[in-house]
Structure 1
Amino acid sequence: MSASGTAAAGTVEHMLRQVTPGRFDAYEALLQALADPGTGQVWMLLWHGQAGSPDAQYGNMEVDGFSYAPCVTSAQELSASGWSRAYEVVGGVDAARTLYPDHYGLWLNPHAPGGGVGVPWLDLRRIAGGLDRQPAGPLRLSDPAIEIPQFYALLAQNAHRTTAIRSLRRAWVQPTLGAPYLAIGLDVYDTSPVSVDAVRAMMQQSVVAVPDGLPVSTVAMSDEHDPVAMWLRANARPFYDRESHAAPAAPSPAAGYGYPPPHGTY
């Protein structure tokens, strides 16, 4: 292995050793190492085929009902694992982009004492799309308790004038790391550039009624991989609905939505 390869593996393995139950800061540092093109290499274990061949297939393991592809973090760990089949060295971002759309996570060093560390597919999605662009999970989601009727009224009024909007939902999101925020779920009729611009303008016109210091974010209801959108579809009725004007319902709070239980992961 080259010196740069050794350094890359060493960074991931150093971060991996820091991860213990409840240490979400250490786990986030591990995700950052995996997402870094300079440090994020992993050795994917191939159940079928050879690296680069059309029939190459990653291994599969199931933990608590969730699927993961096993990998190791260095050539030394590959040797220690006793794996005798083929393997493929890939960047963490590339592995994440391959696995998360099929709801597969990544399991690091399953042969290690304690069983290694599992990265759920939702965190692979964060690695693939940018860790700073999506909140750190597991997320706690609930119906917003904060009273801001002026904002909701203005938002609904502007949505009614924005023909691209079908409905709006809302949730209070508490990330594992970082400040909580109000999420607005946007259900749109189409995603053409004209519609996207109209929806963006609608939000810009509406956030003037948001109290100072209250973070507000938006999420596309059509995103089948976003945990906030998943929760909104399952738990929140629209507070604005162009077609039926449905009354809002109060969903019950949910902890860790979209993530597996912490046992065996981080």
Structure 2
Amino acid sequence: MSAGEAVEELLTRVTPDRLDTYESLLAALADSEVWMLLWQGAPGDPDAHYGGMEVAGHGYAPCVTSRAELAASGWNRAYEVVPGRDIAAALYPEHWGLWLNPHAPGGGLGVPWLDLRRIAGGLDRLPAGPLEISEPSVGVDSFYARLVALAPRTPALRALWRAWVRPALGDSYLAIGLDVDGPQESGADAVRAMMREAVAEVPDGLTVGTVAMADGYDPVAMWLRANTRPFYERDAPALGRSPASGPQGYGYPRAY
């Protein structure tokens, strides 16, 4: 079975309670091609652009999954054939999803932009959504304290954040948000070394991941910025006690 055939076969089996099937669909889509429907222009024209549709307030670009589906759709304008990973990388930065076979019985299936980001960046590298994100309740104070102790020795590090993440598939984990100065590799190496040293304080069985706070498309980073405060801030005014203790720490309201 080709990747394109796998997409069409999996589309018939995706249901809200079968997230494993949906995950398989995303993997097949990453390795296949889609026929993008051009609302205006022809492939390669500077004024060409894809069609668009809105579902529940979110934008999607419609496509079909094979030449046979193109014929079945009755589309009589131009189109272009694009690899799944390429269209995912093109759409998600604009917060656009991809809608597969909207002409099909039942209206086809939409792939939200967050899942296109996973296709573009690697399904094995980014957690499966939808994510449940909350403040962590695991007792790892020694890990947090070690991070706070090491952070001032890591000049590139501006702030540290934390959240508990429960993916749709896979184990829950503790996410540490890293806010760093610029993209310099030396600074990134120092931050990685800090994390390796601090992780020695993590008990067996607890998974720890990191998230770049500069990533404006990462759902964990977006949640952290919208709902919490860092538990370490390099440039915070001295309050006479450790940022890891007391009500000025993570999860408490800002003091005005």
Equivalent position of 1:27 in the other structure: 22
Q: Secondary structure at the match of 1:132?
A: coil
Question: Shift of the alpha carbon at 1:55?
Answer: 2.0
Q: Output the TM-score relative to the length of structure 2.
A: 0.92
In structure 2, the residue matched to 1:250 is 251
Residue number in structure 2 paired with 1:15? 10
Give the letter for the 1:11 counterpart: A
Residues 10-51 of structure 1, C-alpha deviation per residue, up to 9 Å, x if partnerless?
A: 111011111112211110000000112xxx111100001112
- Verify the 8 A CA contact 2:159 2:180 in the aligned structure 1: yes
Look up the match of 1:104: 96
How many angstroms apart in 2 are the aligned matches of 1:155 and 1:8?
44
User: Partners of 1:90 and 1:77 in 2: how far apart?
Assistant: 15
User: In the alignment, is residue 46 of structure 1 matched against residue 74 of structure 2?
Assistant: no
Residue 74 (structure 1) aligns with: 66
Secondary structure of the residue aligned to 2:45 is coil
Amino acid of the structure 1 residue aligned with 2:68? Q
CA distance in 1, matches of 2:75, 2:114: 27
Structure 2 residue matching 1:184: 3-state secondary structure = strand
Segments of structure 1 that go 5 or more residues without pairing to the other structure are: 1-5, 252-266
Paired AA for residue 148 in structure 2: A
Structure 1 segment 176-191 matched on structure 2, within 5 A: 176-191=168-183
Aligned twin of 2:151: 159
- Scaled by the length of structure 1, the TM-score of the pair is 0.88
Cα offset, 1:249, TM superposition: 4.0
Q: Which residue of 2 aligns with 1:232?
A: 224
SS in 2 for 1:115: coil
Gaps of 5+ in 2: 238-242
* 1:248 positional shift: 2.2
CA distances 1:45-89 after superposition (whole Å, capped 9, x unpaired): 000111222222111101111110000111111111111111111
1:212 is aligned to 204
SS in 2 for 1:133: coil
Find the aligned partners of 2:21 and 2:37 in 1 and give their Cα distance: 25
SS in 2 for 1:152: helix
Give how far 1:190 is off: 2.1
CA contact (8 A) 2:143 2:199 kept: yes
Report 1 or 2 for greater relative contact order, CA contacts < 8 Å, sequence distance ≥ 6.
1
Does residue 114 in structure 1 map to residue 106 in structure 2? Answer: yes
Structure 1 runs (4+) greater than 4 angstroms displaced? none
Percent identity between the two aligned chains: 63
**One-letter code of the match for 2:52?**
N
Q: 1:107-160 CA distances to partner (integer Å, 9 max, x unpaired)?
A: 001111111110000100100011000000000000001011100000111012
Question: 1:99, CA displacement in angstroms?
Answer: 0.5
1:58 aligned to 2:50? yes
Q: Secondary structure at the match of 2:12?
A: helix
Pairwise CA RMSD: 1.3
Q: How far off its partner does 1:231 sit?
A: 0.5
Give the letter for the 1:83 counterpart: W
**Matching residue of 1:90:** 82
